[in-house]
Structure 1
Amino acid sequence: MEKKMSELVTMSGTCVCSMGTAPAPIKVTSQAKVLAGGKPCATIADSAPLSNVGPFGMCTSLANPQVAAATAAALGVLTPQPCVPAPAGSFIPTKPKIIIGGKPCLTNDCKLICSYAGQISIVNPAQVKATAQ
């Protein structure tokens, strides 16, 4: 079986949360010198809520206090609430030897844990070809 290589995630990449209902874009703010297809490559530091990782539609996790309160008010019927990402740290690097600006690069197989029991993963890295400026 052929092993697929990891791809760098760029500014137009998207991710999903296992507890969310929609994908969200990745915004790269950690560096601007290493490009892929003319777009900045992300690092594991690009994990801040809203400035790097957008909302995932509606949150369905009962670990989220807003979802738990709405569900209790609905007599136990799961009542999703708007997602406000709550990353617990930075993306977990899978290729820590590939460094961009002193930080491990973000690849399509990296994961980010949400404080509300979700797992955030990359669904579209949007990487084409890496170049340096």
Structure 2
Amino acid sequence: MPLQVINQLGMCYCSMGAMPAPIIVTSNQTVFCSSQLAATIMDFAPIANITPFGACATLTAAASGVPTPCVPATTGPWSPGSPTNTIQGFPNLRDCDVLTCAVGGVIMIQFAGQAQVDVD
């Protein structure tokens, strides 16, 4: 299946979170995909780009079952990003890219946010 560019309507999820969260594009204000801002691998900051995912399974278990918020603790940009397509010098974010959370989860793309737009 072809890879897709992620845009402002994209959704991601954490393997330890209880619910998906939107991707907020701040790395680009000029390039659009399906009439929405296109994301790059630099859209990885907690809260600014990646909002909380409900309750965190890891932190809830550590708190003896008391529901604990799944606030992303990202450790760097999304990886690997597009090897050939860039926006303002940063690789496009694609639906196969992942983001590591220092708490132990892996953040992945659930929905690209647009109709089929293939990239490499």
Q: If the length of structure 2 is used for normalisation, what is the TM-score?
A: 0.90
Q: Is the 8 A contact 2:4 2:116 kept in 1?
A: no
Distance in 1 of aligned mates of 2:11 and 2:107: 10
Amino acid of the structure 1 residue aligned with 2:77: S
Give structure 1 stretches of 5+ with no counterpart. 72-77
Instruction: Tell me if 1:50 matches 2:37.
Output: no
Distance in 1 of aligned mates of 2:112 and 2:29: 17
- Corresponding residue to 1:115 among 76, 95, 102: 102
Q: Is the 8 A contact 1:15 1:26 kept in 2?
A: yes
- 1:1-133 aligned at under 5 Å gives the runs 4-61=1-58, 64=59, 68=62, 70-71=63-64, 78-128=65-115
Distance in 2 of aligned mates of 1:51 and 1:94: 19
Q: Is the 8 A contact 1:48 1:87 kept in 2?
A: yes
Q: Is the 8 A contact 2:41 2:81 kept in 1?
A: no
Q: Is the 8 A contact 1:46 1:52 kept in 2?
A: yes
- 1:75 is matched with none
- Across the two proteins, how many residue pairs are aligned to each other? 117
Q: After TM superposition, which residue ranges in structure 1, 4 or more long, deviate above 4 angstroms?
A: none
Distance in 1 of aligned mates of 2:30 and 2:116: 14
Distance in 1 of aligned mates of 2:88 and 2:116: 18
RMSD: 1.6
Shift of 1:32: 1.6
Q: Which has the larger radius of gyration?
A: 1
Distance in 1 of aligned mates of 2:82 and 2:29: 20
Give structure 2 stretches of 5+ with no counterpart. none
Q: If the length of structure 1 is used for normalisation, what is the TM-score?
A: 0.81
